[in-house]
Amino acid sequence: MSRNLPVVVVLGLGQIVAFASSYYLLGVLADPIATEFGVPPAGIFLALSVAFLLAAVLTPAGGRLIEAHGGRQVLILAHLAFGGALLLMASAAEPWLLYVGVAALGLGMAVGLYGTAFAVLVELHGDGARRPITAVSLMGAFGGMVGWPVSRLAVDAWDWRAACLIWAVIHLAICVPLVVRILPRRPQIAPEDRRAPAPIRWDRRMVQLAVLFAGAWMVATAMAAHLPRLLTSLGMTPVHAAWAAGAMAGCAILARVVDLTLLHRSHPILTARLAALCHPIGALVAAVGGSRLAPAIAVGQGVGNGFLAVASGVLPLHVFGADRYAVRQALLLTPARYLQAAAPAGYALALGISTGAAMILTSLICLMMFAATFGLRR
């Protein structure tokens, strides 16, 4: 993989910046933004939910765009979209302009996250793209670990507007030139070979993979929003719960390292099955062990997140091959993007019933994901 290192580094850096300036941005900026404008933080997060929905609506079109013009061109468009949304946020004089800027992050999310980066690697490597996909996924996992501290430092040194401006400059002045300079252009298609592609038909395997990814994104989003509360309800102190919840990111990175170094020759369905079982095992240990073993659910979720991030790129490639990878993967991930937007509110209702009900719900979803891995053959 050494000869492909520049491409992997550019794609991985782009994922770090994309996640840090979208998914993880408001975790630091929401409170100072709300204070300046005199609005509730809930309204800002509602705008982020609109961004998630916008990304879901546009994801299939993003896949078609990659197929028509190549992942390199779409990544340039994604960084421009992220940069524009962040500049709008940084310059917003009224709350409604801020909300528009936050919602506009969904344009970048639709075409700038893992799916497009993985499509670039499939364009270059075909069926042999597993290891570079895992490497890019590993780098992208640092989005939260890098994003929160950088945004916090910018807010403390200047203000939240400076944080948005810094991320916008990174997108526009660093990521775009690197993509233009490093990523190879896709070979031109001869006019006689151009034809309107047939629609991709949903078959049993497509439905199974969509179920697998939708369940994974639902559980991951619910845990990201509520894990500290869940750990507190299991008997941990708020301080210890925060530290234990932070271990989830480290475990996700560790899982990617394991797949890159030890499991890269194994069947990708093994990775998906391990991912599906990690959360239920962690939940069972936490339920039996109480506050002493409550961090097990954070560890299980983190490891599962890491393995699923790899599987989401590799499994469609394994089952269907490299042909029309971008469009197919976009279709497979669209239900997940819709359900992701509803997951935090849905899991809050489950936690309101009881801690046990909440853990049973996510564990059942993961077991459904495990069942969906059977019968997946090319």
pLDDT tens figures, 212-255: 999 998 898 888 767 777 888 888 877 777 677 667 778 888 88
From CA 180, how far away is CA 174, in angstroms rounded?
Answer: 10
Tokens of 215: 């369940």
Judge if 185 and 245 occupy the same domain. Answer: no
Q: What are phi and psi of 122, to 5 degrees?
A: -70, -35
- Number of domains comprising the chain: 2
Residues 188, 218: one domain?
A: no
Mean pLDDT of 259-281: 83
Q: Are 237 and 291 in contact (CB under 8 A)?
A: no
Looking at the structure, tell me whether residues 54 and 164 fall in a common domain: yes
CA atoms of 158 and 179, how far apart (whole Å)? 30
CATH of the domain at 216: 1.20.1250.20
pLDDT at residue 46 greater than cutoff 50: yes
Flag whether pLDDT at 189 surpasses 60: no
The domain of 289 spans 204-371
Q: What is the DSSP string of 77-109?
A: HHHHHHHHHHHHHHH--SHHHHHHHHHHHHHHH
Residue 378 lies in a domain: no
Domain's final residue, options 149, 168, 193 = 193
**pLDDT tens per residue across span 107-126:** 998 888 888 888 888 888 77
Mean pLDDT for all residues in the chain:
83
One domain, residues 106 and 220: no
Q: Are 151 and 219 within one domain? A: no
CB-neighbour burial class of residue 156 (10 A; exposed 0-12, middle 13-18, buried 19+): exposed
The answer to whether the CB of 198 falls within 8 A of the CB of 279 is no
Picking from 193, 213, 239, the residue at the C-terminal end of a domain is 193
For the chain, helix, strand, coil in percent to 5 are 85, 0, 15
Domain assignment present for residue 376? The answer is no
Report pTM. 0.78
Query: What pLDDT score was predicted for residue 144?
Result: 66
**Mean pLDDT lowest among 76-80, 284-288, 335-339, 370-374:** 335-339
Which of 298 and 144 is assigned the larger pLDDT? 298
Query: According to the model, what pLDDT value does residue 192 have?
Result: 47
Cβ atoms within 10 Å of 1's Cβ, excluding its own: 14
Q: What are the tokens at 373?
A: 């891995």
The pair of structure tokens assigned to 141 is: 């996992």
Q: How far apart are CA 272 and CA 310, in angstroms?
A: 8
Predicted local confidence at residue 197, as pLDDT: 67
Same domain for 232 and 186? no
Both 119 and 225 in one domain: the answer is: no
Does residue 100 surpass a pLDDT of 90? yes
The number of beta carbons lying within 10 Å of the beta carbon of residue 177 is 12
Is 73 within 8 Å of 36 (Cβ atoms)?
A: no
Cα gap 279→365, rounded to integer Å: 10
- Whether residue 208 sits in one domain with residue 84: no
Q: Cα(113)–Cα(329) distance, rounded to whole angstroms?
A: 12
| pLDDT beyond 70 at 205 | yes
**Which of 170, 193, 216 is the last residue before a domain boundary?**
193
